[in-house]
Each structure stands twice: as C-alpha cells, then as structure tokens.
Amino acid sequence: MLQVNFLRDSKERVLEGLKKRQFRNLELVDEAIATDDERRKIQFELDSQLAESNKISKEIGLLMKEGKKQEAESAKSKTAQLKESTAELKSQLDVKEKELINILYQLPNIPHEKVKSGASADDNEIIYQSHDVEGLGEGAIPHWELAKKYNLIDFELGVKIAGAGFPVYLGKGARLQRALVQYFLDKNIEKGYMEVNPPHVVNEASGYGTGQLPDKEGQMYFINEDNLYLIPTAEVPVTNLYRDVLFEEKDLPVKNTAFSQCYRREAGSYGAHVRGLNRLHQFEKVEIVRIEKPENSYAVLEEMVEHIKEILSDLELPYRVLRLCGGDTGFASAMTYDFEVWSAAQEKWLEVSSVSNFETFQANRLKCRYKTEGKSQLVHTLNGSAMALPRIMAALLENNQTEEGIKLPKKVAEYARFDVIN
C-alpha cells in the first residue's frame, strides 16, 4: 500500500508511474489526498477538543477544592457537551480513515524507474538468454503424452478425484517431484536462507498484508466457514510472519525459504495453451523471501536473479530472463524479473519463476519496520520462486526425451537417484 504522504509529496512521480502501468483510475490519487485532508481536519478538531476537555477536568478538581461548586457544575456540563462532540468526531474519523484505506487499497505500487512503460507481456524486455533454442523436430512429443507413455502423471485420475488442474503424480513422476523440491531447498539453504514450514491457509489480514486482497480475491480458494484462504504461494504466510514486527537494525536481513502446495482458481484458463502441467489449480513450489533495509534491496534483487540463474543452469535448461513492463508487473511489485524455460516439444517459452522487489508496499500494509538511529522506518520486502515445479517438470521431460527414454540432467539424477525414465 502506498503511503498517503508519498502521494502528496511525489504526486507527479506517482502519476507517471501509474501511467507506466496503463492504470486508468488516476483520479484516485487526488481522492486519497483530499480524503486525507478531511481526515487531518477531523483529527485536529478532535485533538483540540480532547485537550480542552482534559484542561477543564483539571480545573473542576481545583474548583471543588476551592468550594466553587456552582462553577464546577458548569464546567462539568461543558465536559459532558465535549464528550458528546468528541464521540461524534471519533465516529467521523473512523469513517474517513476507512474511506482512505479503501482508496489506497485500489492503488498499485509505483514501478521502479528502470521499468519501462507497456501494456502487456509483448512489451517485456529480454535481459538475458542462456542458449539459442530450437524444436526437437518430428517425433518429439509434449510432456502430457510423455507422462502417459511412462506412467508418470495421471491427469484423468486427478479429474476423477478433484477436477481438471489437479494431476496425480505416480512412480518416478512422484519421485522426480520430490527430488526437485529437495534440491531447490538445499540450494536455497546453501545461500543462507532459513527453511520454514508455514501453514497452507491464511486469514484475511494476511491476504491484505501481502497484496493478494483485494486485488486477487477471485483467484483464491476461500473456506467460507472459517474465513480462511488457501495460499496461492508460500510468499503469503512467510512474509506475514513479520506482520507488526519492529526489527532491530542488526537483525536484518531476514532470508527465508519454504516449500508448499499452492492453490489458484485460475478462472477462465482454458484451451491448448494450458494443457498438461502448463497451468494447474494445485502445484508445488519452493519460495524465497527477503526482508531488507531499503538501501540494499535492489542489489539484493540482482543477487536473487543470479541465484535463480544458477538453479536453471544446474537443471541444464535453456532459459531467459525478462524484466516486466509496467502493464505486466504485479499489483504490489515495483520491479519484477520473470524466468522462462524453453519447452522444446511445445516450441514455446514457459514461465517458471518471478523475482520481485515490493519496496515498502507490503511493509506498509504489514506494519513491518526496523529501528535505525533511534527512529523506525519501513523495510523493503522481496520474494521469488526457487522454483515452481510444474513447468520445470514439463521442460525436463520434453527437452530430455530420447529414443531410449528420458535422460535426466546430472544434478537432477543425483537427487532422484535414477538417471533415466523408460
């Protein structure tokens, strides 16, 4: 959530950033500032009346001691009037604060200056590409056919149990999933991330804290009876570990990694482009989360990018890195890098990771701060996928198919304890 003082003091920058995103409701900026002006006016009047009420209360005690009962009763009458007035002002203040919050919740984060303007994924910048890519030629088959051929994943059985988008992994398919999760966690831990095992459901406050609510409410599975949401990513519970936390400067940075199931409704996702593992309602992912001092966060973002590049190099997958344009950057992010691997059988790029810097946007919602030089200020939060399993699995199966079977890359085979699927 943007800070209203930032909107007021940097209005031109805010409007320019929102235009980069192709954000249409620019009038919300003026509405937020005007609403805050009204809130401040009410707060000033309330503070003044409370101060006057406190002053009169002290005078009543003195008047009573001096035997000036009639004057004391007159003063009491005045405090009663002030009490009614302050109660009304408190009610008005509460309404105005809620109005302000509701406006601020509708404003996305302001993109970093390096993020270029753009409307869609077509405008994203390719920052790096590891290999020239090409298809496998005739005879290459997509992962959903490979999964069936080698009895690795049963999509139809998942439909029977739950519905489309909930595959069942079998035999070496299940073992390969587990091996990849363990490798990703080990790789993250080697880089200094502490593993945590968070809940897979979160409350409403947690959803608001990281920006999933109200922006992505329709994409999350909701448990009505308990007012809980199934998590779309481990980012949500892990980042919310630090909601309402005031860090000492020496305690930063915080580096966490977590494995979880992820649940996404993906409403409206149909067609050939979402076949097989390309888009699921439930999938496994390993996440990394950072809590950083503001002056370090962009160097840390680049460090996280290099970390993901190392993982993809170990997997021996052709990949590329994109910096997202304003219109394709997530609601809460100031800058995001996407990683895509080449699917040789489908002959297209598949997104497997996003690494983002949210600056203070999440921290402001979370009220996550740190002490520096006797003052408290908001931290910067960052997170990334390291890695999401489905499309990694799809690319591994497709890119490594041979006439003798699927030959796994060295690092994957080391963790899976088998080097070929046949």
Share of the chain above pLDDT 90, in %: 86
Residues 262 and 255: beta-carbon distance below 8 Å: no
Predicted confidence at residue 74, as pLDDT, reads: 82
Angle at 240 between CA 237 and CA 245, to 5 degrees: 155
Please check whether residues 197 and 281 belong to one and the same domain.
yes
* C-alpha 155, offset from chain centre: 29
Strands 246-248 and 201-203: unpaired
Range of the domain at 131: 121-421
DSSP E strands in 89-183: the ranges are: 125-129, 153-154, 168-169
- More confidently predicted of 256 and 76: 256
The pLDDT value given to residue 273: 62
Using CA atoms, how far apart are residues 160 and 355, in angstroms rounded to an integer?
35
Residue 239 domain flag:
yes
Residue 24 in any domain: the answer is yes
Percent of the chain with pLDDT over 70: 98
> What CATH number is attached to the domain comprising 301?
3.30.930.10
Same domain, 402 and 376: yes
- pLDDT for res 116: 97
- Name the pairing type of β-strands 369-372 and 375-378: antiparallel
Question: Which are the contacts of 315, defined by CB distance < 8 A and separation ≥ 6?
Answer: 392, 396, 409, 411, 412
Same domain, 308 and 398: yes
pTM for the structure as a whole? 0.92
Supply the mean pLDDT for the chain: 94
**Same domain flag for 240 and 353:** yes
Please give the Cα distance from 293 to 306 (Å, whole number). 20
Over residues 88-111, the mean pLDDT reads 97
Same domain, 38 and 142: no
Specify the number of domains making up the chain: 2
pLDDT digits (tens, 9 = 90+) for 308-366: 999 999 999 999 999 999 999 999 999 999 999 999 999 999 999 999 999 999 999 99
Is a pLDDT exceeding 90 seen at residue 79?
A: no
240 and 133 in a common domain: yes
Reported as half-sphere exposure (CB side, CA atoms, 13 A), residue 233 has a value of: 23
79, 104, 129 — which closes off a domain? 104
Point out the domain boundary residue: 58, 76, 104. 104
Q: Are residue 97 and residue 128 in the same domain, yes or no?
A: no
Q: Classify residue 110: in a domain, yes or no.
A: no
Q: 102-135, pLDDT tens digit by residue?
A: 999 999 999 999 999 999 999 999 999 999 988 7
Tell me whether residue 159 is exposed, middle or buried, using C-beta atoms within 10 angstroms of its C-beta: 0 to 12, 13 to 18, 19 or more.
middle
Name the pLDDT band for 286 (thresholds 50, 70, 90).
very high
Last residue of a domain, one of 56, 78, 104: 104
Q: Any idea which of 15-24, 100-109, 135-144, 301-310 has the lowest mean pLDDT?
A: 135-144
276 in the same domain as 377: yes
The answer to whether residues 145 and 87 belong to one domain is: no
The string of pLDDT tens digits covering residues 212-247 is: 998 788 899 999 999 999 999 999 999 999 999 999
Residue 172, φ and ψ in degrees, nearest 5: -65, -25
The phi, psi pair for 231, rounded to 5°, reads -75, 140
Longest dimension (CA), the chain: 106
List the one residue out of 186, 240, 215 whose CA is nearest residue 106.
215
Would 280 be classed as within a structural domain?
yes
Asked if residue 86 is part of any domain, the answer here is: yes
Least confident of 87-96, 210-219, 282-291: 210-219
131 and 96 both lie in a single domain: no
> What mean pLDDT do residues 7-36 have?
97
Same domain for 95 and 126, yes or no, is no
Do residues 375 and 329 both lie within one domain? Answer: yes
3-state secondary structure of 230: strand
Is residue 358 assigned to a domain? yes
**Burial level of 416, CB count in 10 A (0-12/13-18/19+)?**
buried
What pLDDT shows up at residue 271?
Answer: 55
Here the CATH number for the domain that contains residue 83 is 1.10.287.40
Confidence of residue 267 (pLDDT cuts 50, 70, 90): low
- Position 17 in a domain: yes
Asked if pLDDT for residue 136 goes beyond 90, the answer is no
Q: Among 232, 212, 182, which Cα is nearest to 362's?
A: 212
Residue 112 in any domain: the answer is: no
